[in-house]
Structure 1
Amino acid sequence: MDYVEFEKDLIAVLLVVQSVHDKNRLLYKYEQINTDKREPEPVSFHTYYSIVIAKDFDPPSSKDEDAPRKTFRNFDDTTLSILTSPNSYGTHVEVQVDDVVFVGHTLSLENNTNLKSFAAIAKPSVILSYQEMSKRIGTAIRCEEQRANYLNEEYAKLLAVLQQYDIDAADPLNRKNEEGKAKETIEKLYVTMVQQSPLAATLKQIYTDLQASGEINIIINNWLNVSCCLPHRSIALNCPLAIDFAFKVLSNSEQYLKPYYGLLLVIDPSALLNSLPADASSTLTTLVRHLRSSYSMSRLSIETGVPLSQIYSLASHLLYWGRAKIMYPINDENIYIISPDADISKQGSLSKLYRETFQNTSNYPTLQEALAEYSDAVTFYDHLVRNDNESELQGRFQCVEWLLRHRLLTQLHYYYYLLLPNDDRNDFTNEYKLTRLPRTRTPLVRLLSELPTLSSSPMTNPLSYSSIHNSRSTDTLKTMTGTSHDDVFVPGSVNSSVVTGRGSRQILHYLPHITQALPSESTEYHRRLAFAIKDAKEQEVTDFLRIIKYLDGTYHLEEIASLENMTRLRVSTILEKFQTIVIRALHCDPNPILQI
């Protein structure tokens, strides 16, 4: 997809009013005139083969990035006031003329004959961002109008400047002197407005701040603080989501959050704390101080004593402002691979930033060498054991945090399927076998007791998350139990009538429970499942039937454990007990909040 260059999407800010005396009037406008752009120098040599091209020739294949600005400057003030005049109030404004889009939010003031509209101009891909920003600023202006008659006073100041301009323009002497200088005169008019009106000065500051950082932090009438940002500035260049969809996700991010997700700051924690205003929430400060890349949101709630719902709210705020990203807590069972959108160019900006950040590392001096480690889908634990000493382990964790922060790694998860012998999905036998558990490895000694606290890293205990949840490699469990995965697809049909003795009694005993757990399946399916689990212990079957509804390939281990309030170890142990009829496939979590 094409990503928006921010410096090109904002053209101007407008303040339009409608009143009894002025039906539609552009009260104030601010746009940045780019005077630094140099015209191309003419060719200083001539040959018989040179081609002379007319100055006004515009090749059809070339795209003028400044076309929207040129279109905008062709509109006079009267036209702009009409284009941005709303049909109703309290709603968003969106009017497109050629390649220029007028967006904003309209407001009606009570007990006042003057109706005001605040509007901005942008390109189509960022309309929602500007509309929300316009709404916030307009609402703040309305509050100050209700409190201190702010807008009426500013209206009078700006109108006086405009009226004086009209009087001077109507003077024949001034008209003669100003011929050919109309553009310069208009610019002087708006400079005078900024000098005479604090509101005009505030609007100019809004434009300047948005161009510089995409964020504004202003005080309306020296009283009301307004802080907001354009979220598309917080989205990384390699974000695969369309800008409008990403804005919708960011605006409603709380509904996408899960208790087993983690929060990773993309800026230094001390820098974030220093940037917070004096009246910032103390809870936010507490959250930032306790953040660890190995903590889930549920654990953060326990560590800080802050309700999980409030953790969600604060996390959404940090995400919206581009200060953090959502990921899974780092633990030794995570599986990372190179992100398909990763910029791995040796000359890219991330390669340069990596060299500057890890210039003293002894592990991987270049970004390409660091990413090469994640070409295979193996657990993070397998990467850890390759590091022998303390400093190398610390460097490994700092490196993976950096790669996740810059969206260069993608985490994969195992999604589980229930597949009985002679199931309809047997056509996919070979495909499923290829996505089974990775190659067997010898049980490895855990590194928890060997790793020190990483004081220089935001993650103080790299394995604390997996230790608390008693997580253990499912491959290690497989080795311990001595089971095999080659008998998943048992040939032949299942005929429960030939089963006698204890097996027959168990099948009859389990059938009612299976029917209750899978009411939509057929009776024959229930019987075949009962036959497949007849040799398991009753408690194991009870636990298995508790999670069987999630074995449709749409739930991964973390989600099953969270939904059933079970530990990761317990869920993986249950699945291992029934590995002859449970298979798993490896892919990413599709939640869009993880892609921002």
Structure 2
Amino acid sequence: MEVNPLSVILVKADSKGDRLLFRYPYQIQQNDSVLKTKEQKKNPYSVSTTDDVLQNTPPPSSNINNGELCGFTDEVLSTLFAVKPELTSQKFELKVNDVRFVSHPTQMQPKDESNGSILINVVFALHAQASYSIVKCYYELSKKLGYALRMEEERVAYLTEEMGIMVKTHDEVANLIEQKKSVLNDCEFVMILERSSLAQTLKSIYHDLCTTGLINISINQHVTLSFCFPQKAHQFHRKGTIVEPEAIDKCLKSLKPYHGMLLLVDFADLLDCVPPTGARILLQLVENYNPLKSLQNIASEANISIDMVYQIVGHLVYWAKATIIYPLCETNVYVIAPDASLHIHSHLVDKFSTSFPGMSLFEVISDFSLPTSIGHLTTPLQQPARQGILAQMVLWMLQHHLLMQIHTYVQFMPFSEEAVDGETEEILVSEEDDVNENDSTLSISIPVPHPSQRSYIEERLSNGDSTVSDNINVQPSSSHKSNYSMTNSGSLLSVDEEDDNKSQVSIEDEEIIKGLLSAFPSSDRAAVKKIPAAGNVEDLTLMVKLYQAGYFKGEHHLEEIMYFENLRRSQLLQLLDKFRDILIIYETEDPAVIL
């Protein structure tokens, strides 16, 4: 993977000159040294041949061998990365063939100021095609390492001591080579690794980057360095999926108090992602954690500000320790995730059976082939234990990204008056043919009806109504009376009765309704006015309130509207049903929970 480093290199520059102190891994360099030793032992009497230069094979342009850096001598690397002071404390990036070197050179003053300043450069060698976000992460890691070393140098001259160990080892090996003893060049790195704690730290960092992508290490047993490569860390839960930091940041910006959190690891595995100073507040949050609670409830019970909860939860999500959900409840609608790892040989099948003995993953998840709520899978006659097991299985499937929750969004979409007039001219027919024409118009005007709308359409079609009144099969609000209502005997009301109905709508209500309708653009006002519920002050007031708040732009799901407007689900659903002719309903994921 391009996220894995090819090598980590430590270079210093001070008053005594520049030098490569340590590099890891060093096996490739050792093989190169063996070849050099063999070349030095060639027969001195052998005749060297000179081939035509034009026929010679060009030197290889790759400096990567089996996922490790090769083809660079220590002297070359030292010259490249012992940069001038002008380049310190900023991003350093160099591309050579198929390798990209990234670092943050750091200059520091040693504890013994008489020795002058020290420039230390922790360099990471990467694949040249590594993405911008990966390069940025390695730069940040080099920067953190440089700052940590500077802190320890100022405190106990740690870097000066470690540099002394490495330089001394290099000199010892150089003397042995000069004495023509059988010592390979890279033995010095083996010896440095045995003697230097800084070298051991760099080795641990390299292996953590290649395995988990999570770094939590103590430098000199004093400074804790915590770092996460989300591109690697999230692979543990979603193999084959690269999660970029920018995508995580975008999701976290969408966090709302009504969201919840679902842990992906055990409690014991959470402490390795925070420094010791943050362990207490994390423990405080975890003690009140429950996937059935919202972040606001957790914050209240843990006595932590909601902003602090956002920071902690965001940190856990970034480190692939948790994911964002909507708190588990019966009305939540789930469906099988499109990228779910479901196949006969999936390791999740056995893992599910271990967690829930006697249960089959395929049998359980088949209930969610179509969008299904938890409430539809339970009945009042079921034992509470059975309902609890179903909730646990849903949480398990969410943890393993097998299910995704879908939410209902609303889009304000009134019929255009111009389009309606045009249709009227084209389909103007006699009263005898009005039924068929009305049916055709309905089926075209709503191409993809929502389930709540579908029943309404079917009722209208099955009744075979021969009028175009909007009151058909719709029960108007209690305060709304149609001017053309039918009596039980089917005859029209008398003129006097019509006047009585009109008088029930006070002039004051008419003025209120007129003012409320002015909230809509003139082009949409007529379509809204035709809705029977628009004659109800209470219904129209709530409709206008939600419209002006921007909830009907397809960007806010029902749960969000309910939370911020303090509405019950039944209230909101009734309103959407009354104004269904001008509202389009569709279902999709919440952008804050797509990881």
- Which of 282, 287, 290 aligns to 1:289? It is 287
Gapped runs of 5+ residues in structure 2?
Answer: 30-61, 421-440, 457-473, 478-500
Q: Structure 1 pair 322/351, CA: closer, same or farther in 2 (3 Å)?
A: same
How far has the Cα of 1:69 moved from its partner? 4.2
Structure 1 residue 315 and structure 2 residue 310: aligned?
no
Q: Report how far residue 285 of structure 1 moved.
A: 1.0
Per-residue deviation at 1:565?
Answer: 5.0
- 3-state SS, counterpart of residue 344 of structure 2: coil
2:513 to 507, 510, 513: 510
Show the counterpart of 1:455: none
Q: For residue 291 of structure 2, give the secondary structure of its aligned residue in structure 1.
A: coil
What is aligned with 1:376? 370
Deviation at 1:83, TM superposition (A): 4.3
Relative to structure 1, the CA distance from residue 279 to residue 380 in structure 2 (aligned partners, 3 Å threshold; closer, same or farther) is same
**Alpha-carbon offset, residue 483 of structure 1:** 8.0
Aligned residue in 1 for 2:120: 116
Does structure 2 retain, via aligned residues, the 8 Å contact 1:503–1:534? Answer: no
The alignment's TM-score, normalised by the length of structure 1, stands at: 0.72
Alignment correspondent of 2:559: 558
Sort the Cα spacing of 1:188 and 1:405 in 2 relative to 1 into closer, same or farther, 3 A: same
- Asked if residue 335 in structure 1 is aligned to residue 333 in structure 2, the reply is yes
Q: Secondary structure at the match of 1:28?
A: strand
2:297 alignment partner in structure 1: 299
CA distance in 2, matches of 1:434, 1:567: 21
Contact 1:327/1:594 (CA < 8 Å) preserved in 2? yes
Question: Does 2:221 correspond to 1:230?
Answer: no
The alpha-carbon distance between structure 1 residues 296 and 204, as it changes in their structure 2 partners (threshold 3 A), is: same
- Alignment correspondent of 1:474: none
CA separation of 1:366/1:68 partners in 2, compared to 1, >3 Å: closer, same or farther? farther
- Pair 1:284–1:573, CA change in 2 (3 A): farther
Shift, 1:121, TM fit:
2.6
Structure 1 residues 529 and 316: CA distance shift in structure 2, 3 A: same
Choose the corresponding residue for 1:156, options 164, 170, 173: 164
Question: Which is worse superposed, 333-342 or 107-116?
Answer: 107-116
Contact 1:510 1:530 in 2 (8 A): no
Alignment correspondent of 2:469: none
The residue number in structure 2 matching 1:134 is 142
Q: In the alignment, what sits opposite 1:352?
A: 350
Shift of 1:344: 0.7
One-letter amino acid of the counterpart of residue 24, structure 2: Y
Kindly indicate whether residue 403 of structure 2 is the aligned counterpart of residue 403 of structure 1. Answer: no
Distance in 1 (CA, whole Å) between partners of 2:353 and 2:2 is 26
Partner of 2:576: 575
Paired position in structure 2 for 1:445: none
Change beyond 3 A, Cα 1:563–1:247: same
Deviation at 1:292, TM superposition (A): 1.3
1:429 to 2:449 alignment: no
Deviation per residue, 1:144-169 (Å, 9 max, x gap): 12222222232232222223333433
Query: In structure 1, how many angstroms separate the alpha carbons of the residues matched to 2:502 and 2:308?
Result: 57
Residue of structure 2 equivalent to 1:540: 539
Aligned twin of 1:465: none
Deviation readout 1:520-565 (Å, 9 max, x if unpaired): x3x2323442443664432332222111122122221122234445
The CA distance in 1 between the partners of 2:71 and 2:419, in whole Å, is: 64
Per the TM alignment, residue 337 of structure 1 is displaced from its structure 2 partner at its CA by 0.6
- 1:208 matched to 2:202? The reply is no
- Structure 1 equivalent of residue 10 of structure 2: 15
CA contact (8 A) 1:301 1:308 kept: yes
Q: Tell me the amino acid that sits aligned with residue 286 of structure 2.
A: V
**Structure 2 Cα separation of the partners of residues 156 and 412 of structure 1:** 60
Contact kept, 8 Å, 1:514 with 1:530, in 2: the verdict is: yes
RMSD: 3.6
> Given the superposition, is the C-alpha separation of residues 70 and 557 from structure 1 closer, same or farther in structure 2, using an over 3 Å criterion?
closer
Q: 1:218, 1:227 within 8 Å by CA — same for their partners in 2?
A: yes
Flag the 1:571–1:26 CA change in 2: closer, same or farther, 3 A. Answer: farther
Deviation at 1:569, TM superposition (A): 4.7
Give the alignment of 1:437-586 within 5 angstroms. 502=505, 509-515=512-518, 517-518=519-520, 521=521, 523-532=522-531, 535-548=534-547, 549-586=550-587
SS in 1 for 2:410: strand
TM-aligned CA deviation for residue 505 of structure 1: 7.3
Shift of 1:386: 9.0
State the shift of 1:305 in Å. 2.0
SS in 2 for 1:585: strand
SS at match of 1:583: strand
Could you tell me how far apart the structure 1 residues matched to 2:185 and 2:235 are?
Answer: 39
Change (3 A) 1:93 1:595: farther
Q: Considering only CA atoms, is the larger Rg found in Structure 1 or Structure 2?
A: 2
Aligned to 2:154: 146
The one-letter amino acid paired with 1:430 is I
Cα distance in structure 1, aligned partners of 2:96 and 2:284: 48
Alignment-mate amino acid for residue 233 of structure 2: S
Q: 1:509 to 1:67 in 2, by over 3 A?
A: same
Matched-pair contact (CA < 8 Å) for 2:10–2:23: yes
Q: Secondary structure at the match of 1:388?
A: coil
Change (3 A) 1:77 1:135: same
Shift of 1:388: 2.6
Native 8 Å contact 2:264 2:399 kept in 1: yes
SS in 2 for 1:368: helix
Decide whether aligned partners of structure 1 residues 68 and 316 sit closer, same or farther in structure 2, where only a CA change above 3 A counts. farther
% identical equivalent positions: 25
Separation in structure 2 between the aligned mates of residue 585 and residue 536 of structure 1, nearest angstrom: 26
